Amino acid sequence: MDTIFALASARGKAGVAVLRLSGPRAHDAVVALSGPLPAARRAALRRLVWEGQVLDEALVLLFDAGASFTGETSAELQVHGSGAVVQSVLRALAGQDGLRLAEAGEFTRRALENGRLDLAQVEGLADLIDAETEAQRRQALRVFSGVIGRRAEEWRRKLIRAAALLEATIDFVDEDVPVDVVPEVRDLVESVLEDLRSEVAGSKAAERIRDGFEVAIVGVPNAGKSTLLNALAGREAAITSEIAGTTRDVIEVRMDISGYAVTLLDTAGLREAQDAVERIGVERGIGRAQRADLRVFLDTGETIAGIAPTDGDVVVRAKGDLHGTGVSGLTGQGVDALLEQISARLEQMTEGAGIVTRERHRQFIMAAIGAMESARVEVERGPARTEIAANELRVAIRALEGLVGRIDVENLLDEIFSSFCIGK
């Protein structure tokens, strides 16, 4: 296996840059640059020298196989963070036999292959790196910690137990199986089904935290939508004028509202369009507003064409500076209160968010639910359907293997023998 290396910190000038190595020659490569090695997990200051030239003074940190991020023999070089220093050390590493520059994501892939991370943790790590807001950080860190794998393993153990009970009645029909297994099988399946359904129910909220929410500002022409968008964004993101119909397309601004990633949408003024171009803008505005997670209606007393508030939408008086109440993007009146309303709605929408953050997770769980529901029906039909029920549970277990590791027949046999003392 090749030993790989790469810059692990961000590119550009910095106080410190971190170079990472992983593979069988990682420690040898460091010896070639720095001489004697420190003890594993003990940082030491070393002068890096290559072909008689001093490259830098760096902190050297070593990790033994099985005790590193990738699970392989690894090392880190913490060098001064100038581009010249980083490039000189990278060239020196590339000049050694058996070393090559890592491909994108290769360190994490090796961690997955070596059992240091499961696939859900890899996804959590990717989300953690991409996190823009506090809510995204918290959720990604939770997934990266292995919560999906732990829960999936718990569900898997219960299904293995249920399958083992059914297998006992099939394979050892002539033995003295001491109890009726159906009540326990039923309880195990119901327990897992309840958990999985709860996760599916919370998956939409979890996905919105990861991907971000869309909040559309809706109103008639010249209601102050673009001015409000600029006030919320803190910059001139949209052109404003007193001419009705200035906004012809949907304008998007990404921002952080109380720790949630939000894309604010400034839609075209909704009215009976005066020309073909405005008609297209109105249609796009209605469509995006309907698909948004939340709508903020600026009420001027006029009827807004094509869309009406629904439960949960925010309705505020437009141009509050002229009326004394409501919101005004021009003066800032009511803007903080509006942000609090939006934040409160987002909090409500994320209540009950589960650990299922991706469509891939949801599909595997839905497949397991379908198989378990079939197994439950077959169990209730009686002993003649036991083999079919056991097969459906095996299908459910395989579905959960999308989140955890593999399962083989030995797991079922171990459970059978330990529970029923069969084989005496």
Q: Other CB atoms closer than 10 Å to residue 378's CB: what's the count?
A: 20
The reply, when asked if residue 245 is annotated as ligand binding, is yes
285 is in an annotated binding site: no
> Is 66 annotated among the ligand-binding residues?
no
Is 114 known as a binding-site position? no
The closest alpha carbon to 333, from 344, 323, 346, belongs to 323
| 11 annotated to bind ligand | no
328 is in an annotated binding site: no
268 is in an annotated binding site: yes
**pLDDT given for residue 409 in this prediction:** 37
- Nearest C-alpha neighbor of 210 from the set 140, 156, 271, 289: 140
Is residue 223 annotated as involved in ligand binding? yes
* 133 annotated to a ligand binding site: no
Whole-structure pTM over 0.75, yes or no? yes
CA 399 to chain centre: 20
**pLDDT value of position 174:** 54
Do 297 and 309 touch, CB atoms closer than 8 A? Answer: yes
Nearest to 287 by CA among 265, 303, 272, 302: 265
Is 190 known to sit in a ligand binding site? no
Does the annotation place 343 within a ligand binding site? Answer: no
> Is 302 annotated as contributing to ligand binding?
no
Q: Find out whether 162 is annotated in a ligand binding site.
A: no
How far is the CA of 68 from the CAs of 11, 25, 58, 347, in angstroms? 23, 14, 20, 38
Residue 83 annotated as binding site? no
Ligand-binding annotation for 226, yes or no, is yes
Domains within the chain, CATH numbers bracketed: 3-113 (3.30.1360.120), 147-202+357-420 (1.20.120.430), 212-350 (3.40.50.300)
Give just the sign of the alpha carbon dihedral 92, 93, 98, 102: negative
pLDDT in the model for residue 158: 95
Confirm whether residue 198 is marked as ligand binding.
Answer: no
| Alpha helices, H only, 24-102 | 26-34, 83-94
Tell whether 115 is in a known binding site. Answer: no
Confidence at residue 90, expressed as pLDDT on a 0 to 100 scale: 96
Is 145 assigned to a binding site? no
pLDDT tens for the chain, 424 residues long, are 899 999 998 888 889 999 999 999 999 999 999 999 999 999 999 999 999 999 999 999 999 999 999 999 999 999 999 999 999 999 999 999 999 999 888 888 888 889 898 888 888 888 888 899 999 999 999 999 999 989 999 999 999 999 988 888 776 555 555 567 888 999 999 999 999 999 999 998 999 899 999 999 888 877 788 888 888 877 665 444 344 444 445 788 888 999 999 998 887 665 555 656 556 666 777 888 888 999 999 888 787 767 788 888 999 998 887 877 888 888 889 889 999 999 999 999 998 888 888 888 888 899 999 999 999 999 888 887 888 999 999 999 988 987 754 444 344 335 433 433 332 2
Name the phi and psi angles at 178, rounded to 5: -70, -25
329 is in an annotated binding site: no
- 129: annotated binding-site residue? no
Task: Tell me: is residue 269 an annotated ligand-binding position.
Answer: yes
pLDDT at position 138: 93
Are 404 and 397 contacting, i.e. CB atoms less than 8 angstroms apart? no
